[in-house]
Amino acid sequence: MNSSAFGKELLALVSVMGCLSRPQPPDWPVSPPSQLCSDAALAKDDFCLPALRIEGWLKSGAFVVTHAAVTENGTTAPHKMRVRITDPGARNISFSVKFKPVPDDLDNFNNSPRRELAAYQLQKLFLDESDYVVPPTVLRCIALEEDDLDDDDMLDNLEPFGDTGCALGIMAYWLENVTDEDVLDDDRASRDQRYREHLGNLNAHTMLVGHQDDIGNNFLRATDPQRPRVFSIDNGLSLHAMGHNPIRFFSSAWSDRRVDWMPERTVKRLRGIDRRDLEKLSVLAQLELRGDEIVSVAEAAPFDRNEGVRQKGRVLQLGLTAEEITEISAHLGELLGSIESGDLKVERRYGNKPKRR
């Protein structure tokens, strides 16, 4: 590495480390689990995540922002926002989201919207909604003048995208009743089957995307002992991003195998994934600039399979490159190879007890 390249990486590293010192985000009141998941049996401390329902609200724009605050300093400056759903069938439901503005070039090593979208969509190929390990994640443009905000100044540091009146960014559901402590707990894994299964699913996902950043609170687990879900909430440093990532010098990387088991139903679905399934990740979002507005439009075939950010006229397209899809395919082959060789055990359920084979 020449001195110029090293200097750029050093500056990027300092910037990233500055992001680790963050103020505590506001803790606004949100809808309780019983309301969010339409289950009266859920208590306020129980874990609840109707992922596809939340994804639908966020993609359709069926919400208004009522509160907003910057959660950290540094290069990405994500916001925590409280949103209220405007869908008539979800009256009075509110929850928080993380909103990370896109970088100027729509893709860089520490802020890659397309990789975040890919991580969310990839899990759908081998996990049921109740087993998702990445919270709902969409690409949205937030109006910079929100009538429902108590103080519009809360959005002053957001920049409009191009000539539009909105800020474009990744919006992801802000998980409630979670902690970043003891996400990988070997002792618990030895006695808690449901936790073992969720942990195995998480590691399968991080291996497939080549996740390279375990610094800070990028991994979370539910505090609800009856619903031991685990999550990866920041997936931008994956899929070839490591070559330009100064964090590689000291991040231990969840791209490696951290467990020695996988649930049988997960393994069955992993074995069913082929190249055609992975090709669906080649287009993850397509936007069209219409005057001073930006709208989501039907996804077309990739404009250029060798680029992750593409533009044709006033249409923008984000997706994985052919090389990145090949990388996921290779990781899948390695994962299945570990299973076939016996290095990675497959667990089958017998009643409430797992049985290895």
How far apart are alpha carbons 48 and 235 in whole angstroms?
A: 22
pTM above 0.85, yes or no: yes
Mean pLDDT of 229-251: 73
Average pLDDT, the chain: 86
Identify whether the C-beta of residue 51 lies closer than 8 Å to the C-beta of residue 138: no
Distances in Å between the alpha carbon of 214 and those of 12, 108, 201, 238, 309? 17, 18, 17, 11, 26
| Residue whose token pair is 């208004």 | 64
Residue 287's pLDDT is 95
Question: 207: which residues sit within 8 A by CB, 6+ positions away?
Answer: 254, 255, 256, 257, 331, 334, 335
Identify whether the C-beta of residue 102 lies closer than 8 Å to the C-beta of residue 84: no
H helices of 29-134, in order, are 33-36, 51-60, 113-122
* 207: Cα separation from own chain's centroid: 15
How far apart are alpha carbons 30 and 251 in whole angstroms?
A: 34
344 pLDDT higher than 70: yes
Residue 14's pLDDT is 45
How far apart are alpha carbons 357 and 355 in whole angstroms?
A: 7
Least confident range from 17-26, 33-42, 122-131: namely 17-26
Mean pLDDT of 200-227: 89
Mean pLDDT of 246-251: 59
Q: Per residue in 156-171, pLDDT tens?
A: 788 899 889 899 999 9
The CA-to-CA distance between both ends of the chain, in Å, stands at: 47
Q: Per residue in 199-212, pLDDT tens?
A: 999 999 999 999 87
Binned at pLDDT 50, 70 and 90, residue 23 comes out as low
Mean pLDDT of 223-243: 85
Residue 13's pLDDT is 46
Mean pLDDT of 265-292: 95
H or E element in which residue 156 lies: none
Residue 110's pLDDT is 80
Binned at pLDDT 50, 70 and 90, residue 150 comes out as low
Q: Per residue in 291-332, pLDDT tens?
A: 888 999 999 999 999 999 999 999 999 999 999 999 999 999
DSSP 8-class letter at 25: P
Residue 54's pLDDT is 98
> C-alpha angle with apex 221: 219 to 227, nearest 5 degrees?
150
Binned at pLDDT 50, 70 and 90, residue 152 comes out as low
Question: 232: which residues sit within 8 A by CB, 6+ positions away?
Answer: 119, 133, 134, 202, 205, 206, 211, 218, 219, 254
Mean pLDDT of 146-157: 68
